[in-house]
Amino acid sequence: MPDISELLGPAAIRLEPARQPEFRQLVRARAKRRRRHRRITGSVAVVILAVGAGTVMRGPTPEDPAGPRKPMVAVEVTGTVQRVGGPMGTPPVGMSGSVRFEDAAGTTITAALGAGGSFSIAVPPGQYVVTGIPAEAGRPSCRAEAPVLVSDTRLDGVEVDCHVR
Q: With cut-offs at 50, 70 and 90, classify the pLDDT of residue 66.
A: low
pLDDT at position 139: 80
Average pLDDT, the chain: 80
Give 119's contacts (C-beta < 8 A, 6+ positions apart): 78, 79, 80, 81, 99, 111, 112, 113
Contacts of 115 (CB under 8 A, 6+ apart): 94
pLDDT tens figures, 6-63: 777 777 666 666 566 677 777 788 888 887 777 777 676 666 766 666 555 555 555 6
Q: Residue 53: what pLDDT? A: 62
pLDDT, one tens digit per residue, over 132-150 is: 998 887 788 888 889 999 9
pLDDT at res. 50: 65
CATH number 3.30.70.2740 is the correct assignment for the domain at 75-163: no
**pLDDT for res 45:** 66
Kindly state the helix (H) or strand (E) to which residue 142 belongs, with its residue range: strand 142-143
Residue ranges of the domains in the chain? 7-58, 75-163
Which of 115, 111, 152 has its CA nearest to residue 130? 111
